[in-house]
A and B are shown apart, each in its own frame.
Chain A
């Protein structure tokens, strides 16, 4: 099946720990995105990548890091520098510069 796979679906972290969320796609899309969603709010852009080995900061990049070593993969690391990391994280892809986004099923991170 073509699509976007995010893992894990649920993740618990102790304060001070880094965690990495996985996003893999087999749609052959160039652009990949990470969004954060908090209850009752819209999506906020963390990082995006429009080509392998290149990525750009979004509106709320502080405390997060990414890599794009392969077209299929765009992992997000939530570092200990992110002060309020509990949220729902969504990965998305897009074929070109404009047009619709395709989303994974999300990863819910809870800090204990």
Chain B
């Protein structure tokens, strides 16, 4: 399967702990996006990368959140000192090299985070 993959699929953690999620985009997709989806809502944009450069961060991305894409391939999203409000589905998506308006963003299956 050559789609977007995310690991882990589920993560349960205690408040105050750090967690890290990984996203492997479709190979050769140079744009990678992170979204957060809370229960009953649509996904909200968090940040995106073009190759290894992080070009935009939403104000939703507090100082406790950090994302990297060191080699322009996979990306990691780390949440430090997790809070119960961080409980959500974290979705990763990637877009083809020559992104235009009508390029589909290919979404991964998501990582569901539960903070106890």
> Are A and B associated in one complex?
no
Please report A residues at the B interface, Cβ cutoff 8 Å.
Answer: none
Q: Hey, which bits of chain B sit against chain A, CB under 8 A?
A: none
